[in-house]
Structure 1
Amino acid sequence: MISSGNLLASIPATLPDELVDDLFAGQSFRVERIVSRGHASPDEFWYDQDEAEWVMVVQGEARLQLEGQAGPVHLTAGMYINIPAHVRHRVSWTHPDMDTIWLAIFYRS
C-alpha cells in the first residue's frame, strides 16, 4: 500500500499534550511522528522500553537524559540518537516556543 504525508503538517494550534501519530508499522518495527511544544517527561519518570528506538529531531530542539550519563543530550534539527532496548531515558526539555517534531522508529533487534 502506498501512503504519503507531511511531517510538518496537521499540527493543532493548541497542544496541551504531546501529539503522537503512528505513521506505519511492520512485523518488527513501527514509525511515529511525535510533536512536542514545551513538553517533558514527568519528574522521576523514565522510559524503559522492550524495543530499541532510533529518534531524530526533524524540527526544533530537545534534551534527552539517559540514565547514568552526567548531562543531557541536546538534539537540534537533523540530529538523531539510537537508544537500545531497556536503556532508561526521559525527555528533560523541549523548546517551549516552537514545535519539536520527532521521527521515531521503534524496532526489535
Structure 2
Amino acid sequence: MRSDWSISVETTPGPKRAPKPKPSPKSKPAPPPKPRFKPEVANLLRDLPEAKDDEAFTDLLKRPGVRIERIVSRGQATPDEAPMVQDWDEWVVLLEGAAGIRIEDSAEVRLAPGDHLLIQAGQKHWVTWTARDRPSVWLAVHLDG
C-alpha cells in the first residue's frame, strides 16, 4: 500500500451536488367557483297552516308521473260513507303528529312520526282520525301508472 494514498475522507473532494432549491412562495388557493344558482331551501315543518276546519294541501313538486305534497291535518277524518279512491299509487309518511288510517279489507293502523305506507291505485281508504291537539304533517307522493 502506498503511503501517499492515505488521504482523509473528510478532505477528499466529493462529487458536486446541486444546490438545494429555495422554497417557493406558497401559492394562493384557487378561488371557489362562482355559483350558477342559489338552491331554494324550505322546511316542511315550518309555517304550517292552521288546518282547523279542513286539511291543508300544499303542492311541493310536480313532474310528469309524480306529484309530492304536504298535507296538514288537525282533527280531520274521512267520512265512512265517502272513502278516498285514487287512480294512482300514493306513498305517505307521517312526519309529525299522529293519525289512524284504514285501507279496504284491512284493520285500522295507527301512524306515528316516521311511519309510512303505500296506498295502491283503486284502493278505498279512510283517514280514521288525526291528532286534535297538534298538527299532523304528512308527506304524500302520488305516482302515476
How far apart, CA to CA, are the structure 2 residues paired with 1:66 and 1:12? 27
Matched pairs, number: 108
Q: Which shifted more, 82-91 or 5-14?
A: 5-14
Q: Which runs of 4+ in 1 moved over 3 A?
A: none
Matched, 1:27 2:50: no
Name the aligned partner's letter for residue 56 of structure 1. V
Task: Calculate the TM-score normalised by the size of structure 1.
Answer: 0.91
Secondary structure of 1:56's counterpart equals strand
Change (3 A) 1:27 1:98: same
Within 5 Å, which residues of 2 pair with 1:1-109?
2-13=39-50, 15-69=52-106, 71-109=107-145
CA radius of gyration, larger in: 2
- Please give the alpha-carbon distance, in whole angstroms, between the structure 2 residues aligned to 1:14 and 1:32: 15
RMSD, aligned α-carbons: 1.5
> Per the alignment, do residues 15 and 88 of structure 1 end up closer, same or farther by CA in structure 2, a change over 3 Å counting?
same
Give 1 or 2: higher helix fraction: 2
Q: TM-score, with normalisation over the residues of structure 2?
A: 0.70
- Please tell me whether the aligned partners of residues 69 and 141 of structure 2 are also in contact (alpha carbons under 8 angstroms): yes
Higher relative contact order (CA 8 A, sep 6+): 1
- Counterpart AA for 1:106: H
- 1:29-54: per-residue Cα shift (whole Å, max 9, x none)? 10000000111112311111001000
Query: Kindly, what percent of the aligned residue pairs are identical?
Result: 38
Aligned-partner Cα distance in 1 for 2:42–2:79: 31
CA shift for structure 1 position 4? 2.7
Structure 1 gap ranges (5+):
none
Distance 1:32 1:98 in 2: 19
SS in 2 for 1:43: coil
| Separation of aligned partners in 1, 2:141 and 2:41 | 17
Please tell me the residue identity of whatever aligns with 2:130: T
